[in-house]
Structure 1
């Protein structure tokens, strides 16, 4: 079956089922991906399908409702950031049950420019993957919102500090990711991020200490310093 922008939800799912590879599912599980509804397609294959079917927001919403891992990822790849609503974003966030989905929708939510609203809202949410989305959005924003002032990113450092003590694996890794990405963004972001990393590294809280020490290793590395023009 050849897919096109006119392909229906049913046709897209049928195509993905035909391409599914059960051997891939076991490998996914080893990386912490929830596989109960997985078909076994790689993200490379899903990106290729997304290029074929193009953006179609209504179809993306229906794909998400299928609850199939690949369909949900494809939904995030093919939804329209300009048509996505905050309520839809909140619903998708609440449905996320893996770091993979959380990080993928985080990219979409930043593209939709929901970061100012959803980052503090999701960070305050106690659900593990919703909170992860908040910090994945920060990491994504640090890289992709190049026209935004550095002050926007620096302003999120207190949020990183506030949640650095969250011991849950998928949260603390996202908090660490956000801190490192802010620090690597520019020379102006480097100093405040490095100072926070040093503070966290001295914390008596295990998660905060790990986040700080891991961030320091990267931020103080020669490649990062050289790229940003930071003196050793």
Structure 2
């Protein structure tokens, strides 16, 4: 299939409801089609993975085409320079998170981008830093204590940022670190308490938002990571 055929399919699948959702995220209407990510995922097996096709789709400028392009990419053939190029054209939190969780986290050396982008003032580069930290905390089984310490330090350093899409990602990263085990839970809570004592409104918001979940985390049988006591699984084990 060619990119123009896929774009035509997307337009035939579009709905005004999803299009307005995309527009509300700040994507220009002319770059929005109106197809859910769930529907995009269903297209992948039928189309097949191809980096050439993925780049053709990405370059159309359509938001949904970019989301689909990430899913179609052959991860082993994608480089850090490729994702650096992609990030220059990210203008929404969902595309930022989509790239981080479905692509960047699977590229060797992605940790370099965390350090590289933390000094970038662009909203979505800064969000990407903490989306990656959250993803590492969830999926990377061999993450070291030294790495987690460096991530907690980044959280402390960057929590002054009051932009909504950034501070929500910082809170998310802190909560996911806390879910690794009780040791990291203690450290995450200590970090949140430190932020709570600062005069910065952004720091206080992040701390309160993170603590709402961190202070409810428990260990349940059959799960490696901690989960909230408010979850159904915790309730079934009498831990709520």
Q: Same-fold call, TM > 0.5?
A: yes
Segments of structure 1 that go 5 or more residues without pairing to the other structure are: 1-6
Segments of structure 2 that go 5 or more residues without pairing to the other structure are: 221-225, 228-240
Equivalent residue in structure 2 for 1:42, among 31, 36, 43:
36
Equivalent residue in structure 1 for 2:119, among 110, 124, 133:
124
Q: How far has the Cα of 1:113 moved from its partner?
A: 3.3
Query: Is residue 189 of structure 2 the alignment partner of residue 200 of structure 1?
Result: no
- Size of the aligned set, in residue pairs, is 223
Query: Is residue 168 of structure 2 the alignment partner of residue 173 of structure 1?
Result: yes
Q: How far has the Cα of 1:195 moved from its partner?
A: 0.8
Q: How far has the Cα of 1:33 moved from its partner?
A: 5.1
Distance 2:146 2:163 in 1: 28
Q: Superposed, which structure 2 residues align to 1:1-232 within 5 Å?
A: 7-30=1-24, 32=25, 34-36=27-29, 37-107=31-101, 108-221=103-216, 224-227=217-220, 228=226
Q: How far has the Cα of 1:54 moved from its partner?
A: 2.7
Distance 2:111 2:142 in 1: 15
Q: How far has the Cα of 1:42 moved from its partner?
A: 0.6
Instruction: Answer with 113-122 or 162-171: which moved more.
Output: 113-122
Equivalent pair of 2:137/2:177 in contact (CA under 8 Å): yes
Moved over 4 A (4+): none
Name the SS of the counterpart of 1:23 in structure 2: helix
Q: How far has the Cα of 1:185 moved from its partner?
A: 1.8
How does the TM-score come out when normalised to structure 1?
0.89
Name the SS of the counterpart of 1:185 in structure 2: coil
Name the SS of the counterpart of 2:188 in structure 1: helix
How does the TM-score come out when normalised to structure 2?
0.86
Instruction: Answer with 12-21 or 167-176: which moved more.
Output: 12-21
